[in-house]
Structure 1
C-alpha cells in the first residue's frame, strides 16, 4: 500500500516558537518526533511505501546529526521515497544513500527524488512535489504537495498532504497527528475538496 506525507520537520527546534508555518503543541521536539513515529507505525507496515514530499527534518550539517536522522528514519515502517524539500540538504540525501539497505522484500529502504515524481491510481494522475504546482485546467491531474503547512492552496487540483494540512479535515474520520495518508484517504480528500469547490 502507498502512503503520503510531508513536512514532518523532525528535530526542528524552531517549531515551538515559529507559529508562522506550524501550530504544533508539543513541549519538546523529542515528544513531537515520538508522536509522529508512533502514529506512522500504527498505520504503515514494513512492506508499504511512504512518499515523503519534503522537509523531513531540520538539522545542522554535521555527521552526528545525519546519524541521528538516519536512526530515526530506520524506525519508521515502510520504504521511504524522499522528495527533496527546501530544508532537506543534498548532504543528508547522500548520507542516507551511502547507508541505504534492503528490507525483507529485497527493495531499498530509501529512494530519492530531487524535484518530484508522478503516480497514477484511481483514475487520477498525481504530481508529487514539495512545492505546490499550478496545473491549470486539468480534469484528472492532482498535485500532492507539502511546504505550506497549515495553509491550503486555493485550487481544487492542489492537495496539501503535510502533517499540518487543514485539508485532512475532508476526511470524516480524524487521523492522529503525523499519520501518513493512504491512497484511499488521498482520494477522499481530493473528492471532498472538489465538492467543496463546486459549491463556491
Structure 2
C-alpha cells in the first residue's frame, strides 16, 4: 500500500487546457487522460490525498470522474471546490443556512467517490519528516499577487505539500507542488516526496506531461 498526493485535476475545465498548455484537444480527451494516468499509477489498495481543485464546469459530469479513479481518496478542498470552506456561496446568509449548504456540498463530493474530506488536515509523516498538507503554498501564486492569504498555513520553518500554482514550479524551497501540471499528470508517491525533502530546499521546474 502506497500513499500518493495530487492536486488541480480540473476535470471538466476547458480553459485550463490553454492556461496550463495541457496537450489535449478538448475536455473529453483531458479527462480521459487524467483517469488513465491516475489508474496506471494508483492501485485500489493505495491512498491518494487530493489537495484541491478537483472539478469545474458541470459538476454532474466532471465529478463523475472521481468514481473512475482507483484507491482510497481523501479531499483537501481548494478554492475551486464547491465544498471549500471559503466558497462564497457557503459564506452567505444565516449560520444555519450556511451549515446546511456546507453539508450538502460535502455530501455531493463524498457521493462522487471521496472517502473523506478534511478542510484542515493534521500534519502527516512522509519518510522521517512531518509535513503540512494544504491546497495553498505558504507563499506564491499562479496569478501574480498571492490570493486567499487568510486560508494559507503559516510558514514556521517546515515543509508544505500543496497545489494551486499549477505549472509555476514543482518545488520552491520547502514547498512541494503536487499539482498534475507539475508532474506529467500523475499522482506523486510519498517516497518521491520523501526524496525531495531529503535533498533539501531547492527550486525545481515542472515535468512534462506523459
State the TM-score bracket (shorter-chain normalisation).
0.7 to 0.9
Instruction: Give the drift of 1:93.
Output: 2.9
After superposition, residues 1-200 of structure 1 pair within 5 angstroms as: 1-17=2-18, 19=19, 22-60=20-58, 65-66=59-60, 68-90=61-83, 92-97=105-110, 99=111, 109-133=114-138, 136=155, 138=157, 141-152=158-169, 155-165=172-182, 168=183, 177-192=184-199, 194=201
Query: Over aligned residue pairs, what C-alpha RMSD do you find?
Result: 2.4
The offset of 1:133, in angstroms, is 2.0
- Cα pair distance change 1:58/1:92, threshold 3 Å: farther
Q: 1:16 to 1:88 in 2, by over 3 A?
A: same
126 and 29 in structure 1: CA distance in 2 versus 1, 3 angstrom threshold: same
CA contact (8 A) 1:100 1:110 kept: no
Instruction: Extract unaligned runs of 5+ from structure 2.
Output: 84-103, 140-153, 205-210
CA contact (8 A) 2:64 2:112 kept: no
Cα 1:116/1:157, change in 2 over 3 Å? same
The answer to whether the 8 A contact 1:49-1:79 is kept is: yes
Distance 1:188 1:154 in 2: 12
Q: How many residues align?
A: 169
TM-score by length of 1: 0.75
Aligned with 1:164: secondary structure? helix
Pair 1:158–1:30, CA change in 2 (3 A): same
Runs of 4+ in 1 over 3 A off after TM superposition: 134-137
